[in-house]
Amino acid sequence: MKKIPVGISGRHVHLTQEHLDILFGEKNYKLTEFKALSQPGQYAADEKIDVVSPEGKVLAGVRILGPVRPASQVEISKSDAIRFKFIAPVRSSGDVKGSGKATLVGPKGQVEIEEGVIIADRHIHFSLEDAKEFGVTDRQVVSIKVGGEKPGLLENVLCRVSDKFKLDCHLDTDDGAAFLLTNGDTVELVKKFQIVE
């Protein structure tokens, strides 16, 4: 079975159009594409903002990803949450109900969000064809095997299947650092494994 490419996601922000307009002081503000991301239609923007924790600690220069979203969301690592004093539960992208608070500060304005700070769950994007090849379904939870100098297994990896997706395993910087993974490395799908005592 073919291997799955890895994308390591650093801290970033998704914004609603309303919040983008406030932060940059312009109605219907348009983000400037910096580079395309692995998923079709997704991109990293030139624009960055500061994200301030409830205790006043500042994550400076956090990049915005486009296009705009239905809800504003800040994705950080557990290391960020500890260092900068954020409350950030592990969630799937878009699942922000009851998550952490923050103040978003742009060049022209700021926005208080009552929820939206999360640690993104481990997940794999599958196209319909790839899901069929790997024998997985949307929302199925699997494990992945990492090779290399610091090999191991990562559990609780969510499968996300859509005709809009391209095969890619998304891990945050903490997971990437723990296993010495970088963008473009590959992992193997493991549906079941048994611990032998």
**Per-residue model confidence (pLDDT) at position 55:** 96
Same domain, 16 and 111: yes
* CATH code for the domain of 171: 2.40.40.20
Same domain, 59 and 15: yes
Same domain, 96 and 128: no
Dihedral angle at the C-alpha atoms of 30, 166, 128, 4, nearest 10 degrees?
-150
The distance from CA 186 to its chain's CA centroid, rounded to whole angstroms, is 18
SS3 category, 77: coil
Same domain, 111 and 21: yes
Question: Does residue 197 lie within any of the structural domains?
Answer: no
**Per-residue model confidence (pLDDT) at position 150:** 95
Q: Residue 129 is part of which domain span?
A: 123-190
| Residues of the chain under the 70 pLDDT cut | none
Question: Does residue 2 lie within any of the structural domains?
Answer: no
**Per-residue model confidence (pLDDT) at position 8:** 96
Question: Does residue 38 lie within any of the structural domains?
Answer: yes
- The DSSP code for 97 is T
Last residue of a domain, one of 120, 155, 171: 120
The amino acid at 104: L
Residue from 34, 71, 76, 43 nearest 58 by CA: 76
**Per-residue model confidence (pLDDT) at position 152:** 94
- Contact in structure between 125 and 107 (CB atoms under 8 Å): no
**Per-residue model confidence (pLDDT) at position 191:** 79
